[in-house]
């Protein structure tokens, strides 16, 4: 892993929400590690190469939530 990016995600409330976000974000090329916490609304994406914030925001949107880069 060469870098991490943190996002604030609004709308998550339980483990199913975390799983949905994890599932969509894991589809992004280069993503190696995903830490997601519904309680704090935190998403941390670890990747081997730079991942566009727009791609992460789109993936989270696909899961049904809203992400903003911290």
Tokens matching residue 3: 């870098």
- 13, 26, 35, 48: which one binds Cu ion (CB under 5 A): 13
The C-alpha atoms of residue 13 and residue 4 are separated, in whole angstroms, by 23
**Residue 60 lies near Cu ion (rule: CB under 5 A):** no
Q: Which of 1, 8, 10, 16 binds Cu ion (CB under 5 A)?
A: 16
Of residues 29 and 39, the one with the C-beta less far from Cu ion: 39
Residues that bind Cu ion (CB under 5 A): 13-14, 16-17
């Amino acid at each position: 892993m060469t870098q991490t990016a943190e996002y604030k995600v609004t709308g998550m409330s339980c483990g199913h929400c975390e799983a949905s976000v994890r599932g969509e974000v894991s589809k992004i090329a280069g993503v190696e590690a995903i830490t997601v916490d519904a309680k704090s609304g935190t998403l941390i994406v670890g990747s081997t190469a730079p991942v566009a914030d727009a791609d992460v925001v789109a993936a989270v949107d696909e899961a049904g939530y809203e992400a903003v880069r911290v």
